[in-house]
Structures are given as structure tokens and as C-alpha cells.
Structure 1
Amino acid sequence: MKQRLLERAAASALALLMMIAQAHAQKKYDPGASDIEIKVGQTVPLSGPASSYAVIGKTQAAYMSMINEQGGVNGRKIQLIQYDDAYSPPKTVEQVRKLVESDEVLLTFQIIGTAPNVAVQKYLNAKKIPQLFAATGAARFTDPKNFPWTMGFNPSYLVEGRIYAQYLLKNHPNAKIGVLYQNDDLGKDYLAGLKAGLGDKAKMIVAETSYEITEPTIDSQILRLKDAGADVLFSATTPKQAAQAIKKVAEIGWKPLHIIDINASSVSAVLKPAGLDNAKGIVSVGYVKDAADPEWKDDPGMKRYLAFMTKYYPDGDKDSNLNVYGYITAQLLVQVLKQCGDDLTRENVMRQASNLKDVALDLPLPGISVTTTPTDYRVIKQFQMVQFDGLHWQKLGDIVSDEAKE
């Protein structure tokens, strides 16, 4: 009897050891991941010409604090390492190299801006480091064939440009369009999308003029477009230049239909500084709930967001769509890391990010969810045309879905 008990005890101990060994064997880590933490790195323009975007990084950092307080992701705390790149591509290169080679992050997340992301895209792909949910909608960031380690988050600028073209053809078929665009992939993609959407009506564009992100003002460009006889102004810009354009248009008494891209649609960062009265009637697109709109006061997702802001980012502007954006992107990152389980390799991060299925986040408009595939890296493929009434963005028509492959 005693011998049998000993044999059973030995067998049980062996089984336990095998289970422990198997559990350890199932865990896979690349640099930046361990049993206790996951290192994530990003650059944020805390200074420089695009510093209005800094609040995005602050919201994301606050979100990770909330997740860590709740126990982390699968028991691991997220260490979000942020560096200021001042929206300067050379600085982005320097800081991203530091994140990869010194901090040894598992992945980069939400590097902000088209030009900064372009500057590090080849480097990160060569190193096989995820460039996850890059804060840009340029087409090159949803190109898994050529850049399998890069996935953009923002809606495609090409598609957005095409949607504005469709809107103009339907509602303003005789328009004379003047285009102000940032002289990088952001502005050029918007312009290309607008022209593609207009097709053989592209002659509706009577003038186009670009600017460099470092230029102090775009006053001369606005005057040039007005003098060309444009009665529609399409601003493919970032917040600072969008606000300048709105102000200048009002100052000179020009009354075009003004379309601004989604990057510049923040009420708090763009429209308020430009003057709400000056911004009345502006058209854009959206895909998220407006935190300032009473329509969403009883919405469960909005309630979670507002409670988060109150507790973890009390100094932040709850009504800012930049903070809404920061919340959504952080929430999606956590979803990807949860799906990774104990396989925290860079390869699995991209596998999970490219196999999202109808992921419902708290703040996109009803009917908008996230689905990706290994051949379609586009995260946001649905839009809502909107027009500013002086206080809020009001919906124009139904949600538009983009089914075409880029």
C-alpha cells in the first residue's frame, strides 16, 4: 500500500512538473516582452509645428495606466516609452533607433505623422519590428506586400479624397476647386484621391498649391487660390495650417465651400482657435462619436470614455476628438496584445493585428467596426460625411463603406 502511495505521489509530481514545463514552453518572447511586462515605444510631437497632436500620446499613456492598474494584459504591465520628435523626420529616426536598439521595445505604436513614419518605415521593416497603427492614412502604410511590418490606423487619404470628389460631383457639379495641400505623402495622397474621384471632371480643379510643414503661414497660398476663382477650397492639411486657412478665408471675406480633411477636424484644436463662427458650414468626414454632442450622453462606450478621462486624464479636454482618437487607438492596441496571449513575439503581434474580426471599440460611430486580413491592412474603411453647424459636426447622409482594395 505504502509503495503504491509513493508511486502515485511520484506520478503526480512528475505530471505537475510536466505541466509546468509545458506551460513555460508555450510562452514565447521577443525582446521587449517577459512574464511581467510588455515594452511599447512611440514618438509624439510634444513640441514643434504639430504639437497639437501631443494630447494623443498623453491620452494613450493615461489609458495604459488604467490597464496596468487593472492588472495589465494577461498579467503583464504595459511600459509605454514615449519620446518627443517635434514632428521632425530626422528626430524621429534618432528616437526610433533609441527605442529599438537601447530600450529594446517589442513594437512601435502610433508614431504620429506621415513624414515621421516614412522616415522610419524601411528601418523598422528591415529590423522586423512592428510599426503598429501608424498615425497616418497614406497608402504606403497599408501595403503588406512591400511593408509587412507596417500597419497604419487612419482612414486612407486616397479613399477620403475620393469621397470628397463624390460629394462634390453630386452636390456641387459646377464647382471650381482650389486645393491647399501639405507637400508630403499626406497632401499628395489627398490630391490624388480627389483627382481620381473626379475622373474626367478633374478639370473642376482650377488651382492647387502646396506648403511645407515648417512654413510660418499659408496666407499667400490662400490668396492664390482665391485669385484663381475657386468657389470650393479643399484643405489637405494638418491642424495648424487648417486653422490658419479658416482664419485667413474669413479675414479676406472669401466665401467658398470649405472642405477640411479628417486630420484637421478637431473642434478644440482647430475650429475653436480659428473661430467657431468662421468654421460654420465647413465639410469633412468622421468615424467617431462626438464627445461634446448630447446625442451620446447615454451611450455605454461614451460613458466608459468619460469615466476614464475623469479618473486618468482629468486635465484633458473630454470633448477633443484627438483625445477620442487616442482612446480608440490605445483600446485597439490592448485588444491585439490580449489576442497574442503568451506568444509575445513580433511575428505574432502582426499576425493578430492582421486578423482582427469585427472588433467593436467604444467610440466609433454605430455600425463601424475593425476588420483586417493579411492582405488588407486597412483598419478604418467606413466614413460619415459631416458638416459643422457652429457647435457640433452634423451628419450628412449615411455611412459610406470603402470596399475597394488600395
Structure 2
Amino acid sequence: MRNGFLHLVTGTALLLALSVSAANAQKKYDPGASDSEIKVGQTVPFSGPASAYASIGKTQAAYIKMINDQGGVNGRKITLIQYDDAYSPPKAVEQVRKLVESDEVLLTFQIIGTPSNAAVQKYLNSKKVPQLFAATGASKFTDPKNFPWTMGFNPNYFVEGRIYGQYILKSHPTAKIGILYQNDDLGKDYLNGIKAGLGDKAASMVVAEASYEVSDPTVDSQILKIKDAGADLFFSASTPKQAAQAIKKIAELGWKPVQIVDINATSVGAVMKPAGLEAGKGVISVNYGKDPLDPTWKDDAGMKKYFEFMAKYYPEGDKDSNFNTYGYSTAQLLIYVLKQCGDNLTRENVMKQASSLKNVQLDLSLPGIVGNTSPTDYRVNKQLQMMRFNGERWELFGPILEDAGPAG
């Protein structure tokens, strides 16, 4: 009897040990992840020349607080560590090294801006730390062959530029085009993209190009150069401050070209209002998300969720800002990927899940626009729709455009 009891106890202990071992084996963690926590890091230009983007980081922090209040992701709370990089590449390098080596985050998320992301890309890839959903659309951030740990979120700037080139050929085939562009990967990708869209007409249609540095106080001299070249269509490959300056200067000059601005410079609050709402009337761009100012979405379930979130978790934020809708959407996608990771919270699995998105529809995506990725195509957003500013808000027009061609 005693031997039988001992055998039972020993057998039970062995089964318990095996079940605990099996349970532990199912959980895989890299630095920054545990049974109770997932550490995520980012740098944001809370100050400096691109501080208009600061509200993106504030919205993301508020969204993660909401998720934590709801119990976190698979029972784990998310710790979001944010540092100010002032849109300065050297500062971004310093802060990202701190996130990886001191804070030991599982991944970086939505580092904001092309210059900052470019400065840390090689470092993060050498450390095999995900540079997830980088807030840039430059081609080098959707290049899985050379940078498998980097995935951009924004529509590819080259592809977006190519769409503008194709639109111009169709709608303004005799245009004399002047291009203002930021002198970095962002501006150069747009410049090359629009020329690719124009094809063999680019050489004759583009009559002026002028670049600017982010640190330049104004772009007035560049606008004058483009106007004096005889341009009647102006393409602004810029970020909010310079886009607003350009729209305002064009109005002051009484110059009336067709105006196209890139998707980064479409904020009503950060671009159109500073430029003057009337001055921005007729400006053309693209979008892939719902505009909170558009009455089309007043009864939309996703928009209602966004407004409820803003009222409760970021009441001081501008609910009508597309920077805040962007912050909401990117944070929602991060949570989706972390949920897909389950208990396998390794950096490798984070990238595996992020590179296998299938028809992901976010609350604020335009109807018909879904996120798809693969191990060979890291572009999250490949679908866009044209829109025009009416002096108060943006109005969508035309069909959903999808450009799945080469990314640069």
C-alpha cells in the first residue's frame, strides 16, 4: 500500500513537473518581455523643427494606457518608454541606444521622421531589434532583403510620388511642374517617384526643382525660384512647417498654380490653418484613413470609437487632427501584432507576425483599404485615394488607387 502511494505521489509529481515544463516551453521571451510586461520604446520630436508631430506620440501613449486599463495584451501590461529626439539624428541615436541597452525594450515602435529612422536603422538591425512601423515612407524602410528588422508604416514615398505623376499625366497633361523637396530621403523619394510616374515626359514637364534643409527658417526663396521658372503646377514634398510656409507664400504672391502636397503635410491644424484656410483651398493630396472632419463618417462605428477614446484618454488633444487619428491607427496595429504573438514574445516572432498581416482593417482605414504584408513585401499601406481641400476640410475623390509596383 505504502509503495503504491509513493508511486502515485512520484507519478503525480512527475506529471506536474512535465506540465509546468510544457507550459514554460510554450512561453518564449526576449529582453523586454515577461509574464507581466512588454516594454516598447520610441523617440518623438516633442521639441524642435518637427514638434507638430508630438501629438502623435501623445495619442499613442494614451491608446496604450487604454489597452492597459482593459487588462493589457494577453494578460501583459505594455510599458511605453518615450524620449524626445527633437528631430535630430544624433539625439535619436543616443536615445535609441538608451532604449535598447539600458531600458532593454523588446522593440522600437513608430520612431518619428525619416532622418531619425535613417540614423538608427543600421544599429537596430545589427542588434536584431525590431524597428517596427517606423513613421516614414522612405523606400529604405521597406527593404526586407537588406534591413529585415525594419518595417515602415507610412505609404511608400516613391510609390506615392509615382501616383501623383500618373495623376498629373491624366488630369494636367500640359503642366509645367515645379517641385519643392526636403533634402533627405523623404524629399528625394518623392522627387524620384513623381518623375517615375511622369515617365519620359518628366524631362520636359518638370521646369524647376528646389530643395530645402529642415533647419532653414523659410522656403520663400525656393518658392520664388519655382514661380520664376514658369511653373503652373506646384508639388510640395515637405513636412508640415515648410508645407504651410509654401502655401502661405504662394497666396501672398498672388500665384495660382495647381498645388499638390504629400500625405505628411495634410494636417488641417498644423498646415492648413497656419497657411490660411482660404490659401489652401484646392490643394490636392492622398489619404488612406478617415478624416474626423468629414461628415461622411459621423455615424461610422470606427470613428465613434476614436472620438470616445479621445474624450476619455486624450481630452486635451485635437480630436479633428489627422496626426491624432494616425497615432490611434498605428497604436491599434501595434496591439494587433502583439496579440498575434501570443506567448512567443521574441523579437523574431514580432517581425514574423508583422510581416504576415492579412487584410487587416483598422477602425479608421477608408472602406476597402486593408493592410497586407509578406516576408518579401514590408509595405503596410499600398492603397490610397485622392483628396482635395475645400477651404475647411479634405474631400475624397476618385477610386481607391493601388500601386504594388517596385517600391523605389
TM-score, normalization: structure 1? 0.98
- Identify the residue that residue 283 of structure 2 maps to in structure 1: 282
SS at match of 2:170: helix
Kindly state the Cα deviation for residue 269 of structure 1 after the two structures are TM-superposed. 1.2
- What is the CA–CA distance in structure 2 between the aligned matches of 1:179 and 1:101, rounded to whole Å? 42
Structure 2 counterpart of 1:228, one-letter code = A
- Identify the residue that residue 49 of structure 1 maps to in structure 2: 49
- What is the CA–CA distance in structure 2 between the aligned matches of 1:41 and 1:156, rounded to whole Å? 23
Q: Is the 8 Å Cα contact of residues 137 and 155 (structure 1) preserved in structure 2? A: yes
SS at match of 2:105: coil
Kindly state the Cα deviation for residue 360 of structure 1 after the two structures are TM-superposed. 1.2
- What is the CA–CA distance in structure 2 between the aligned matches of 1:320 and 1:35, rounded to whole Å? 36
Deviating above 6 A after TM superposition, structure 1's stretches of 4 or more consecutive aligned residues are 1-6
Structure 2 counterpart of 1:32, one-letter code = G
- Identify the residue that residue 65 of structure 2 maps to in structure 1: 65
Per-residue CA deviation, residues 76-121 of structure 1 (Å, 9 max, x unaligned), is 1110000000000011111111111111111100000111110010
SS at match of 1:279: coil
The more displaced of 39-48 and 15-24 is: 15-24
Q: CA RMSD in A?
A: 1.3
1:80-119 to 2 correspondence within 5 Å?
80-119=80-119
Kindly state the Cα deviation for residue 8 of structure 1 after the two structures are TM-superposed. 5.2
2:201 is aligned with 1:201: yes
Long gaps (5+) in structure 2: none
Long gaps (5+) in structure 1: none
- Identify the residue that residue 334 of structure 1 maps to in structure 2: 335
TM-score, normalization: structure 2? 0.97
- Identify the residue that residue 33 of structure 2 maps to in structure 1: 33
Q: Is the 8 Å Cα contact of residues 294 and 395 (structure 2) preserved in structure 1? A: no
1:2-401 to 2 correspondence within 5 Å?
11-202=11-202, 203-401=204-402
- What is the CA–CA distance in structure 2 between the aligned matches of 1:314 and 1:192, rounded to whole Å? 40
Structure 2 counterpart of 1:169, one-letter code = L
Structure 2 counterpart of 1:393, one-letter code = W
- What is the CA–CA distance in structure 1 between the aligned matches of 2:38 and 2:70, rounded to whole Å? 15
Per-residue CA deviation, residues 324-351 of structure 1 (Å, 9 max, x unaligned), is 0000000000111111111111111111
Kindly state the Cα deviation for residue 396 of structure 1 after the two structures are TM-superposed. 1.8
The more displaced of 374-383 and 23-32 is: 23-32
Kindly state the Cα deviation for residue 285 of structure 1 after the two structures are TM-superposed. 0.3
Structure 2 counterpart of 1:171, one-letter code = S
- What is the CA–CA distance in structure 2 between the aligned matches of 1:283 and 1:272, rounded to whole Å? 16
Kindly state the Cα deviation for residue 7 of structure 1 after the two structures are TM-superposed. 5.3
Structure 2 counterpart of 1:343, one-letter code = N
- What is the CA–CA distance in structure 1 between the aligned matches of 2:19 and 2:101, rounded to whole Å? 35
Per-residue CA deviation, residues 189-214 of structure 1 (Å, 9 max, x unaligned), is 00000001101110200000000000
- What is the CA–CA distance in structure 1 between the aligned matches of 2:177 and 2:166, rounded to whole Å? 13
Q: Is the 8 Å Cα contact of residues 181 and 187 (structure 2) preserved in structure 1? A: yes
Kindly state the Cα deviation for residue 15 of structure 1 after the two structures are TM-superposed. 2.6
- What is the CA–CA distance in structure 2 between the aligned matches of 1:87 and 1:167, rounded to whole Å? 32
SS at match of 1:276: coil
Q: Is the 8 Å Cα contact of residues 376 and 405 (structure 1) preserved in structure 2? A: no
Count of residues in correspondence between the two structures:
406
Percent identity, please: 73
- What is the CA–CA distance in structure 2 between the aligned matches of 1:208 and 1:402, rounded to whole Å? 25
Q: Is the 8 Å Cα contact of residues 240 and 265 (structure 2) preserved in structure 1? A: yes
Q: Compared with structure 1, are the counterparts of its residues 405 and 4 closer, same or farther at alpha carbon in structure 2 (3 Å cutoff)?
A: farther
SS at match of 2:319: coil
Q: Is the 8 Å Cα contact of residues 187 and 237 (structure 2) preserved in structure 1? A: yes
